[in-house]
Structures are given as structure tokens and as C-alpha cells.
Structure 1
């Protein structure tokens, strides 16, 4: 079996590594040059894109921002999973909000803005604490502006004045006071079977995910039920095939969807070590028609992103249950260079291992570790 992935970054690499034991050959498309490359070495392959599409059993993506003409070509083959429509939902927040509202999935109060003067009305209707997001091409904190008091409005308008809001509207959201950020990674097969991984708690710093912990501590049955219902409604509503990530805010006993990612997701990297079947393997199983694998957590796990940093002690591998995933990129500020997975028998032990990890890495690149390690080390609940 052969799978062609649009995008040649770390997610394509991890799909390749998950597919090899199953006998699934994974190739990648560099969407900038529209050439075929090996997902790990990045060396060019001899086949043309058209030949690769013809030879593949399934086509998929590792990120949402694939040029639309490439998605159209892939969609015409009848092999693209998830569908082009689902992928574009992840690439365009206007489409995303429309889907959530049409499926009656609770999300942040918001307005769509196509003219700067409409921001004044947003303040009246949503309050003077707002998050303003570009509807396209924003990720990891980019393409976002925060308004915390009305006096900032004119300055923000000035910074937005060069944008074509008719072409790329703004999503203006009410800034919520939430308890924590959660994500649910799930998978739907071609036949409609759905499996979900445990809820994951995510810790962000300057707009980027730094640490994920799964299963998320302190999840009530009511919250868990809500999360599963949200995922099912979305996956069935889109007739989705593959792994889908749903990012949510927990506000008391209520979950509000923040964003959707129609692909394998950073907050699901812990599944490589903490679950019987990783998100990467389950995505491949889904799109080629194999039975879905077990999604339960074998053990509490944490994923720690390595961001903008290449200098740390590889002796961190001496920590039991510690696994390093290095992406082989050139170091650049705010760039995801790799991640570290930790597994343990319980949350206390996981916190202790996280504290050990902090001793092997530079604190300025891993600012979330000490507090999260301390919090986990005090937990006595069973996952």
C-alpha cells in the first residue's frame, strides 16, 4: 500500500515511520516545489506528482495550508482523505466558524469583520477584551492581536490598516476566562467507526504549545461525555476519514471549541509512547481501510516540545520512559525542532521525571517545565 502526504515536515516523517511496520510506503510532496521527496531524508524521488497520485492508494495532508490547486488535483483522484472541504475548514477560520455554528457545536462568541470600522461594533457586542485573528495563515500565535482595553483600538486599527479584509476577513473573539486548554484527538474510519484518545491538557507559551499531558488530570464524566459528543458530531457531520484534532477551552463544566486541525496534531505526539496505537498509525489505518487500533492510554504521558533550541544534553535519555524525537531541522527561533515524550506509572512519577528533564535542558527554552512538574508531582488521583 502507498500513501502520498502533502507536506514534507515532521508529521509526514512520523507517518512514514508509523507506516513502515505495516508495509505502507509513505511518500511526501514538497508543496512549494510540487516535487516528490522522501519523508525522512527529504531527498527528491524520481516519480512526478501525477505518477505518485496514480500509484497511491490514499492521499492525505500533514498541514492545512496546501495550495488549493494541489488540493483540487488530489480531490479529483477520489483518494484524498480527509476531503478537500474538511482540509479547508482547518485553513480558514471563517469556514471553521460556519461549520461549528451549522453543527451547533459550542464555540467562542465571535464576529466576522471585513472592514476596520466594524471593530467598534465588536467592542459594543463582545466587550473590550478581544482576540483578533486573521482568518487564514495564522498559527502558533502568528496573525493574532490582543485588545485588553478600549483605548488600544486605534493602535490595533493602524496595525491592521494594510490588510485586505475583503480577501482575508478577521475573526474577532471574546477573550474568555477559561480554566484550561484541552484537545481531543480522534479518528474516524471510512466505514464510520470512531475511536478517540483520552483528553489531553495543553500548556502554551507565547502562542505555542510547549507541554501536553495525557490523560488530562481531573476530567469529570460530564466533561468527557461532552468531548466525545463534540468529536462525533464534527466527524460525522464532515463525513471525515482520518485523524481529527479538536482544541477546546474548558470553562467550568462547559467545553467550547477553539480550533480544528484536520490532520495528526502536535498535542497527540504523546500517543507514540503512551498508547498502544499512535495517532500516526491510526491515521494511516483509517485512510487505507485497515481496522482502527486501540486508543486507550497505557500510562500517563507527557509531550514536551523542543522549540528554537538545539543545545541540550542527550543524557536526558537516561530518564526511564523518556523518548527523544528529533526532526533534523536547522535551528531557528520559535521553530519546532523536536519533542520529548515521558511516560510513568502515575502523575506523581510523571512530575518527578519532568523535574529530572528540566535538569538536562536550558530553562529559557523550556519555561513551562518547572511549574508543571511541581503540579503533577502533587497529584494523587488515578488516571
Structure 2
């Protein structure tokens, strides 16, 4: 089977690496003009001239990134199975549609309003009560296209910095930690849920993910599974879906979903019986799903901006290095390291020992390392 992937970045690369042992071949359709997958066939098509060629070369289609034209996915779906479905792509590209869907399915969200001017942004901030987070309705990831308003008077500056005609304004969530759940749905409707991961962000970019999340109450995992299950079934979804959440004193509050394999699931490559990448390939290919049980305790460390001393990290017996074949650039995801341990205490020590070889890595903090 030949799988077409819309996009040719590191997620597509890791999908292919997981699919080759299952005798899958891959064709990447790159609309950016700067593919970095470094394997498989790549069709570079910035102007949409070679879509028919791509269609003729593949049996099924998936995507590694949600910020691509829905019209392309819809056109492909007329000719070949596209998983996840274009509707999932459409919902995830529009924060208003996403929050509306969450509300209809009973998934808790922050209080929110829509603003289409600096004046309406100020009014929303006053009504919701600051602090609030303003986000562009479309586009934006890794903290881009967002602004935090501590007072309504900051509305004009926030509006100018975001630079979009419509924004969603969300009341700030007083959370204990940020978490995510990754699930996968097969063509026959079978479901599998990975353990919740605890995520630490720095300057809007994910830096560390611990899985299974420490000190997690059973009902929190159950609630997360219930919420993501409702999304998977509502969308008749096939493949891996990620739901980012805030854990609060009152339970979970949904932030956003991503219709793809996710950075907070990279720990599954060594840390779960079946990685998110293999399970996505299994699902979109029509196969049975793999076991999602964690092998032990894991922490994923993102390599951001510069590679650091990879040779020293390779000497660590508990570290697994994954590089994305990318050149160094500030803020760019260049790779990640998966750390394995038998106890959370051991995991903290190993993560800190590894992070010292990665320049610019923020101090490792989590619920395992309380501040103060």
C-alpha cells in the first residue's frame, strides 16, 4: 500500500519510519517548497499543478499538519480515502467552530466570546473579566497568533499584535497543569486511548512531556477518554486525534484538538507498546489497532533551536535521540529525546542530566518538581 501524506515535515517523516516495517510506501505532497522529511517520494507543488499526479501515485491519503487548504483534502477525498476526514480538518482550522463543537458534545471549555475589532475585544475582556487570552480564529500554533490581556485597556495593543480580522477571547483558566490525551480510531470504529501526558511549555512551545502523567486520578483519565471518544465518533474519525486540556481543581477544561499525531505523543515511540505513529498508519490503512499500554515511565524533551551536544546524549543509556534532518534556527523543532525510567524520581534526575546538554532548554519543572 502506498500512503500519500500532505506535508513533508518531521511528523510525516516519523509516520513513514513507523510505516515501513508494515510494508507501506510513502509519497509526500509538499506545498511549502521546503520539505524536510528526507525520505520517500516528495512532490513539491506550491501552485497546485501536480495534485493529479499525487492522486495517481497513492492508495490512501493522510496529513501531518492541519494548516493546509481544506479544498485540497476535499478534492482528494473524491478520488481516494482521506483519513482523518476533511471535516475534522475544517473544524480544527477554526477555533469558533471547534469551541462550538466542544460545547455541543458537553466538553468543558473556558468561557469565550468572539471579537472583530479592538473595541469588541475590549468589551469581551471587560465582560469575561481579565486576564483573558485572545487568539486568532484561524491559523496560529505553538503560541503564535495569541495575546494575553491583563486589563481591558490592553485590547488595542493585543488586537494589533494578533493581526487577524476575528479573534476568540477566552477567560483565563486557573489550571494546575497542562495535559493531553491521544487516542486512535480504526475504520471499524475500534478505539484505543493512550495514558494522559503532562506537558510543560516555554514561550508557547512544548518543551517536556511526561507520561503517564504523575499523580493522575483515575476519573481524570476516564473523563478525558469520554471527551475524546465523543469527538472521534461525532466526526467518524479514522486515525490519531489529540485533545489538549487544562487540569483544574474542578476537573478538565478543553483547550484545543489536533487532527494528527502530536508532539506530546512522541514519548510513545519508545514508551508505549505501539507508538502513535504506527497506530495512525494502522488506522488509515484499515488494520487492527496496536496495544497502547505504556512500557514504563517516559519523558520527551524537545530539541529547539540548536542541536547541542548530541554525542554526549547518545552516551546516556536511557536516552533515545530522534533528529528531524533540519538546520538550526531559533525556535525551530530540530528533534526530541525520549527518556525512560522505572520511577518518577529517577525520571526527574535523568531528564535534568540530559537537558544540560541542550542549550536553551528551560529548567525542567513539573508537578514532580514543585516550585518554591
Distance in 1, matches of 2:69 and 2:44, equals 22
Shift of 1:366: 0.7
Task: Say whether 1:329 aligns with 2:326.
Answer: yes
Runs in 1 of length 4+ with deviation above 6 angstroms? none
Question: Could you tell me which residue of structure 2 aligns to residue 230 of structure 1?
Answer: 227
Deviations 1:150-198 (A, max 9, x none): 33234334545xx452xxx201000111000000000000111110100
Which of these residues, 332, 355, 363, is aligned with residue 368 of structure 1?
363
Task: Say whether 1:292 aligns with 2:289.
Answer: yes
Question: Could you tell me which residue of structure 2 aligns to residue 381 of structure 1?
Answer: none
Equivalent position SS for 2:213: coil
Question: Could you tell me which residue of structure 1 aligns to residue 128 of structure 2?
Answer: 126
Shift of 1:346: 1.6
**Structure 2 vs 1, CA of residues 373 and 98 (structure 1 numbering), >3 Å: closer, same or farther?**
closer
Map 1:247-326; keep pairs closer than 5 Å.
247-326=244-323
Contact 2:36 2:326 in 1 (8 A): no
Equivalent position SS for 1:375: coil
Shift of 1:283: 0.2
Which of these residues, 50, 53, 57, is aligned with residue 51 of structure 1?
53
Could you tell which deviates more after superposition, 117-126 or 106-115? 117-126
Aligned residues: 366
Task: Say whether 1:72 aligns with 2:67.
Answer: no
Distance in 1, matches of 2:326 and 2:84, equals 27
Equivalent position SS for 1:137: coil
**Structure 2 vs 1, CA of residues 13 and 150 (structure 1 numbering), >3 Å: closer, same or farther?**
same
Question: Could you tell me which residue of structure 1 aligns to residue 201 of structure 2?
Answer: 204
Contact 1:38 1:44 in 2 (8 A): no
Equivalent position SS for 1:350: helix
Q: What 5-or-longer segments of structure 2 have no aligned partner?
A: none
Which of these residues, 110, 121, 142, is aligned with residue 144 of structure 2?
142
Question: Could you tell me which residue of structure 1 aligns to residue 25 of structure 2?
Answer: 25
Question: TM-score, normalization: structure 1?
Answer: 0.90
Could you tell which deviates more after superposition, 208-217 or 302-311? 302-311
Distance in 2, matches of 1:302 and 1:243, equals 20
Equivalent position SS for 1:28: strand
Provide the aligned C-alpha RMSD in A.
2.2
Equivalent position SS for 1:117: helix
**Structure 2 vs 1, CA of residues 316 and 264 (structure 1 numbering), >3 Å: closer, same or farther?**
same
Contact 2:303 2:335 in 1 (8 A): yes
Distance in 2, matches of 1:43 and 1:287, equals 19
Contact 2:12 2:37 in 1 (8 A): yes
Which of these residues, 159, 165, 172, is aligned with residue 169 of structure 2?
172
Question: Could you tell me which residue of structure 2 aligns to residue 183 of structure 1?
Answer: 180
